[in-house]
Amino acid sequence: MVATEGKNYLDPLVLDKIKKLDVRARLVVEGFMTGQHRSPYHGFAVEFATHREYSPGDELRHLDWKVWSKTDRLYIKQYEEETNLKCTMLLDCSKSMRYGSGVDRPGMSKFDYGATLAACMAHFMQQQQDAVGLVTFNTQIQRNLPASTHPSHRKLIMHELQQTEPDDKTDVGNVFRDLIQQIGKRGMVMLISDLFVDLPTLEKSLQNFRHARHEVVVFHVMHDDELTFPFQDNTLFRGLEMDIDLHIEPRALRKSYLETVDRFRQAVRKACSVNGIDYVLLNTKEPLDAALSSYLAFRQRTSRMKHRF
Amino acid sequence: MLQFFSGFMTNPGLFLAGAAAISVPIIIHLLNRRKFKIVDWAAMEFLLEANRRNRRRILLENLLLLMMRCLAILLLGLLLARPFMNSDSLSRIGMDSVRVHRIVVIDDSPSMRVQAAGTTKTGLEVAKSAVIELATRSAAKASDDYLTIRLTSDPEHKLYDGPMTEESLGDIEQRVNGITPSDTRAKLDATLQAIEKSLLGKGDATNYAVYVITDLREGDWVSPEQVDEEEKISSVVKRLAEKISHEGDKTPRVAVLDIGGDEVENLIITSIKPTNNTVIVGVEAEFEVTVFNAGERPVDEVEIELVIGDGTTLKETIGHIDPQTSETKTFRYVFQDPGPVRVEAALSGADRLPIDNRRHYAARVSVGRRILIVDGDPSPDEEQTESYFVERALAPPGDYPSGNVIEVMAESEFDTLVLDDYAVVLLCNVYKLTEHRIESLEAWVAEGGGLFVALGDQVDKDSYNDLLYKDGAGLLPAKLEARQGDETHKVWANPTPASLNHPVMKIFSGDLGIVTQFVKIFRWWSVSLSEDGTIPEGVSVVNHWTDADQSPALVEKSFGKGRVLMLTTTVDRGWSDWPLDQSYVFMFQDMIHYMSRRDSDDGNAIVGLPIEIQMDSSKYKDEVEITDPANEKEVVLSDPDSSGRTLELIYSKTQRHGFYQLKLSRIADSTKDVKLFAANIDPHEGRLVRVSREKLTDSIGEEHVSIQQGVDSLAKGDESGWSELWKWILAAAVLVLCGEQLMAWAFGRRR
């Protein structure tokens, strides 16, 4: 049931209609989960908790053979599941993230898309008992919800995501320097932003996260308009973050613009790959599962790495 | 400014409008700048970067596009303005495509048979070979030129109208070679007017060239007698030339090509006719042949042959004819049989224009004039009858035939008689006429009959006034008032010597005026011409008596086509002793000639004018067989007129000089009546006097018409003309528009 309908919920156009972020996130995650071959519910790290007596039906592989050899009794080993991942989502809430929320423009704004993504992640990770934290920022940290596994924490995150109004510019330099100290313990850092920042500063900041032994995923949220530049007629472009008006003929500039955008993306991608950072480009037009699957891929990789260590 | 542009374009206004419309793309551009969407844009940095890199290129492209669009608009305006250029300058830049519509008017009047100046060929032959040469050259050049050939003898008809190509060359040659000199006058004015009419509504910028190949004979070019009704030829030429000339033309568009020689020596038979209009069997007919010397030198010993019928040839010689004068020679001949006879006069010597050395006359020989005398006072004693003297005056006894056939009858017989065959009817002292007699008499007079009324003591005044005078509407020229004069014959009056040169009064004219003294008139009727004493229209008093009142003696009235003549005294010795005087005979002989019913057609016409005959539909069938001078027979149907009693035939194909024989079929016995007509060329054609070129140039003006000697300029056919440039402009406009589209597409695509 969910399998047939769930896919639809991944479409941003549909999701946009669901105003409650919590519901939205659940729909996305469950819709995404359905049909996955491997259940992600296996814990990654398990610590011994206690023994209990064997009762028929228990799995034999969990028998503690050492105890049996000493006592000739059958005991089952019990493990305590433990959060081994602390994930902090950094959501850009600068003005530029507002783009795409116009009345004449279907679909989500970049911020909505990013917020939905964040909500989905929070929902998803909570289900896996991972600790999730949220930081909204623009020129400075707007709100910092430290990572927690507590069930009510998710509600808090959802509320915060729904509350936040994008404003002001993005300034990763200062914000991230502060954040690195605040997050402290190594974990996972998810940057959700349109990355309209100074490229060297960004690179530097990302490097700093890596130095602090954080796993970093960059979700580069771009609006479809920004990626394809579909404008035809004479247009006055008003800067959202910059106070500049530009009256141009879009057709004449499309090629050049797209080249510029592409160059920038390549630079970011290169900076990421050099630092071992996952870079995921998200088009607001495309379904969210792309974001989720990339996250999944990341998790599997880190899990393998863990086993190797 | 308009003036300046109109020198080389048809609608300069449109061009200026087009120039003004250049602002349209600019305005559109500015309006477009004003209309824009506003987008709050996030990725401003990238956009700024792109803009910074491309600003100059975009500006350049936009300027280029704007220029193209302005140019397209300008070209469109120019296209509508239809500019033209002199083909000379065009051919210099290799764009010569001048297309000329050549209209050749060939004067094919009889005078074109005269040798052309400086050649052994006739003028017409020169003209023909020039036209063929023109066509051959044009065909070889593969030019677009168009040719129209017209002949002056047939103004409305186009001998040829089409292109000059290899294919049509044979057709042109065949048609041109088929031209024969016509026998009619050149109708130059009508031909030029026809051309003018055919050009109505044609485009302005076509290049027309009109060539008039003519020998410039005065007769064709100057027509003083027609100035009132028709336009002078020179003014028609001038108007036509102005019409087809372009603004600022340097070369005239109408060329008069003069191929006539200056030699004018020529003899012409200008007329041949019998001295008395009627030719009667047994009466010696006199034919007067007039020869005109149209040259500048006197001519001696001109031999004239007169061929009568099929065989008889009479020869006479005129000793000397001065230049520009006519001499007349009289031929006498007695016809033995009635009927139509061909009479042809010819000069035996050859001269420059042989066609006018020959002239035809269709003589209609009749058995005599039938004259009816109605005697109102018959008497057993022959000399006492009213008609005794007049009968003898009209047909004097003796060997010498008078040509008159007299019938005398009394009033009672006259009452129901059919009058058709009579030439003159004389009412002599008739008491009164019945109403239906008067009615048919009126119809007969109106058709051309001659009625002579002599009064006397038998005349019933009231009946005459009521039925014949009818207050001026009837046959009688005047109202009878009372008898005058002395019954005892002691006192008398005389006729007056003729002051007017009236044909009936020839015997009393001039020196013969004294003869009137020997004529004694004792009694007469006093008459009044009208109530108020004025003389009504159509009525004239030919002679008065010498009494105190100057009473009218002879009163004439025109009635329809015929005439009525009233003598206020008697024709016998009752009231005068005139019958005893010689003048009585002369007066009546003259009167008969004058009063004779004449046919509406005298059988002699000018070539080109139609032959018209009228037939009684009860007697003749409507088909008439016509044999023309070339001996070709044709059956023509005549049309009934409105009343249905008369058949009318109008035969207009009299293009050749010579005899036209018409055979009329009788319904009753299917025998045929033959009528003969002769068509002659206009004797003016033979006057080879030419219009001086200077005079012609003066009246037409040099600006638009060139008068040239010879046909060289036609054969070459190389005058320049205006070429329209619209084809080139259209091509340019299409090119510009395509370029604009391509550029816009290319610029758009690249981005």
Domains, chain B:
2-83+727-750 (no CATH), 97-262+690-724 (3.40.50.410), 267-362+682-686 (2.60.40.10), 369-595 (3.40.50.880), 604-680 (2.60.40.10)
Structural domains of chain A ordered from first start: 46-81 (no CATH), 84-308 (3.40.50.410)
Interface test with B, best of A170, A237, A284 (most B CBs within 10 A): A237
Chain A hits for B60, CB-CB cut-off 8 Å, are none
How far apart are alpha carbons B596 and B280 in whole angstroms?
13
How far apart are alpha carbons B373 and B447 in whole angstroms?
19
Spacing of C-alpha B233 from chain mean position = 14
The per-residue pLDDT for A37 is: 46
To the nearest whole angstrom, how far is the Cα of A267 from the nearest Cα of chain B? 14
Spacing of C-alpha B112 from chain mean position = 20
Is there a contact between A12 and A109 (Cβ–Cβ < 8 Å)?
no
Q: Do A244 and B38 touch (CB under 8 A)?
A: no
Chain B hits for A251, CB-CB cut-off 8 Å, are 748, 751
| CB proximity list for B365: less than 8 A, separation 6 or greater | B279, B280, B281, B285, B335, B337, B338, B339, B340, B341
The per-residue pLDDT for B5 is: 67
Runs of H (alpha helix) within chain A: 2-9, 12-15, 21-33, 65-71, 110-127, 151-163, 172-183, 199-211, 224-228, 250-274, 289-308
Model pLDDT for residues A89-138, shown as the tens digit of each residue: 999 888 888 888 765 666 788 888 888 888 888 887 777 777 888 999 88
| CB proximity list for B91: less than 8 A, separation 6 or greater | B98
The per-residue pLDDT for B689 is: 73
To the nearest whole angstrom, how far is the Cα of B48 from the nearest Cα of chain A? 8
| CB proximity list for B746: less than 8 A, separation 6 or greater | none
Q: Do B37 and A242 touch (CB under 8 A)?
A: no
Is there a contact between B202 and B99 (Cβ–Cβ < 8 Å)?
no
Q: Does A58 touch chain B (CB under 8 A)?
A: no
Continuous segment of H or E residues that includes residue B19: helix B12-20
How far apart are alpha carbons A206 and A214 in whole angstroms?
10
Task: Report the phi/psi class of residue B538: left, alpha or beta, with left for phi > 0 and alpha for psi in -120 to 50.
Answer: left
Q: Nearest Cβ partner of A234 from B36, B747, B750?
A: B36
Q: Do A244 and B49 touch (CB under 8 A)?
A: no
How far apart are alpha carbons B557 and B530 in whole angstroms?
13
- What number of H helices and E strands is found in chain A? 11, 10
> Which residues 81-120 of A are in CB contact (within 8 Å) with B?
95-99, 102, 110
Secondary structure (DSSP) of B178-244: T----SSPP-HHHHHHHHHHHHTT--TT-EEEEEEEE--BHHHH--GGGTTTS--HHHHHHHHHHHH
How far apart are alpha carbons B121 and B708 in whole angstroms?
19
Interface test with B, best of A199, A243, A257, A268 (most B CBs within 10 A): A257
Residue A1 has pLDDT above 70, yes or no: no
Chain B hits for A253, CB-CB cut-off 8 Å, are 47, 50-51, 54, 58, 751
Q: Do A252 and B61 touch (CB under 8 A)?
A: yes
3-class SS at A47? strand
Q: Do B44 and A244 touch (CB under 8 A)?
A: yes
Model pLDDT for residues B47-95, shown as the tens digit of each residue: 888 888 888 888 898 888 888 888 888 888 888 877 776 655 545 454 4
Q: Does B200 touch chain A (CB under 8 A)?
A: no
How far apart are alpha carbons A234 and A251 in whole angstroms?
9
To the nearest whole angstrom, how far is the Cα of B70 from the nearest Cα of chain A? 21
How far apart are alpha carbons A200 and A203 in whole angstroms?
5
Question: Which portions of chain B are predicted below pLDDT 70?
Answer: 1-10, 85-99, 117-118, 142-143, 201-206, 222-231, 246-252, 276-277, 350, 597-603, 715-724, 749-751
The per-residue pLDDT for A43 is: 39
Model pLDDT for residues A44-82, shown as the tens digit of each residue: 334 566 788 888 888 888 888 888 999 988 888 876 544
Other C-beta atoms closer than 10 Å to the C-beta of B245 total: 18
Please tell me the number of Cα atoms within 13 Å of A126 on its side-chain side. 26
Per-chain mean pLDDT for chain A: 77
The per-residue pLDDT for B525 is: 92
Task: Report the phi/psi class of residue A229: left, alpha or beta, with left for phi > 0 and alpha for psi in -120 to 50.
Answer: left
Chain B hits for A194, CB-CB cut-off 8 Å, are 42-43
Q: Nearest Cβ partner of A242 from B44, B58, B750?
A: B44
What is the pLDDT averaged over residues A21-42?
60
The per-residue pLDDT for A266 is: 92
Which range among A8-12, A181-185, B394-398 shows the weakest confidence by mean pLDDT?
A8-12
Q: Do B36 and A247 touch (CB under 8 A)?
A: yes
